[in-house]
Amino acid sequence: MKQISILFSILLLVACQSKTQPDVEVQVYSGNALGTTFEIQFFAETELEIGQQIDSTFTILNNSLSTYIPTSDISKINQGDTSVVVDNQFKTNFLASKEIFKLTNGYFDPTVGVLVNAYGFGPKKYNIELNQKSIDSLMHFVGLDKVELDANNHIIKQYSETFLDFNSIAKGYAVDRLAALLNQYDVEHYLIEVGGELVAKGKNLSKESLWRIGIDKPNPEPTPTRELLQFIVELDHRAMATSGNYRKFKTDEFGNKFVHTINPKTGESEASDILSASVFAGNCMLADAYATAFMAMGFEHTKELLPKLKGIEVILIYADGQEVNTFISEGMKAYVK
């Protein structure tokens, strides 16, 4: 589950309001897409009619990457169709996933979808009894190193049963595509959010400040008050994605807190001591993928990897026994309020 608090008023459909600068208006598009919600807020001197282009962006992504649409490219590939010629959307997500798979030593792995389905969390439900034997059997089909893209843009799978699922990177990629759309119109100030993944550029001109984003405080009994915000961060020309379970975590018989996540290296639904991983990067696709990877890696492995990753900053809320602590990477400290 991915959750985030966006610190601005939600306006439905398209709205324009006069702001502090008389020649600049705020425009907002919002709705449902990719199985979640989205909101685009930007300032422009003239009203931009981009609703159709936004819809087209989501349609293209769905037709390529949605595992919930039986006729999408990824669904056909998962069904064993080897004739599919993948588009640029698929290719970009696949190649980025390959790179992150290597850098995280396999902790980010879109082929874990076969296990996500087995545990009942994905689009395809398996009627099997999960035990060590069945998990070991499914693990034969897990591993992005068992999937390749050939010169003709066909996906070649070592095992036909391997199930690709880019859910942990595609929403971030959608944010990047929407940002590219606004950049084509030379928009200098915007905040784009899709399912909790976002990118900010310039300022919130209505407040004459950088865009401010809230990071929730883990709490088993949430209330709609700002006291539940752990941090407020300022963003400019930076993307952010958060993975984890902010408000629902388990406590064992010793009082230790943790959340469950599927470890792609073992196939087990294991306890992660990271309750929330907020990742900041130059684009949202990377932030989205690393947020998922860090949840699987756990706190110590994530800290070891961070110095090797260029341009990646984090705010990690993690459990140390019964205590809940926070780690803020050096490059983010100046932006935390």
For the chain, give every domain's residue range: 81-164
At 181, list the tokens.
């759309």
DSSP annotation of 336: B
CATH of 81-164, one of 3.90.700.10, 1.10.3980.10, 3.40.50.300, 3.10.20.30: 1.10.3980.10
Closest CA to 24 of 208, 211, 212: 208
Spell out the residues 6+ positions from residue 61 whose beta carbon is closer than 8 angstroms to its own: 34, 89, 170, 173, 174, 177
CB of 173 within 8 A of CB of 284?
Answer: yes
- Residue 304 corresponds to which amino acid? E
CA distances in angstroms from 19 to 10, 25, 154, 189, 285, listed in the order given: 16, 6, 50, 13, 32
CA distance 135 to 156: 23
How far is residue 165's CA from residue 32's CA, in Å, rounded to a whole number? 20
Q: What is the pLDDT along the chain (337 residues), one digit of tens a residue?
A: 343 333 332 333 333 443 444 467 899 999 999 989 999 999 998 999 999 999 999 999 999 999 999 999 999 999 999 999 999 999 999 999 999 999 999 999 999 988 888 887 767 766 677 788 989 999 999 999 999 999 999 999 999 999 999 999 999 999 999 999 999 999 999 999 999 999 999 999 999 999 999 887 776 554 444 457 678 999 989 999 998 765 555 566 666 655 568 889 998 887 789 989 999 999 999 999 999 999 999 999 999 999 999 999 999 999 888 888 999 999 999 999 8
Cα–Cα distances in Å, from 93 out to 126, 264, 297?
Answer: 26, 18, 21
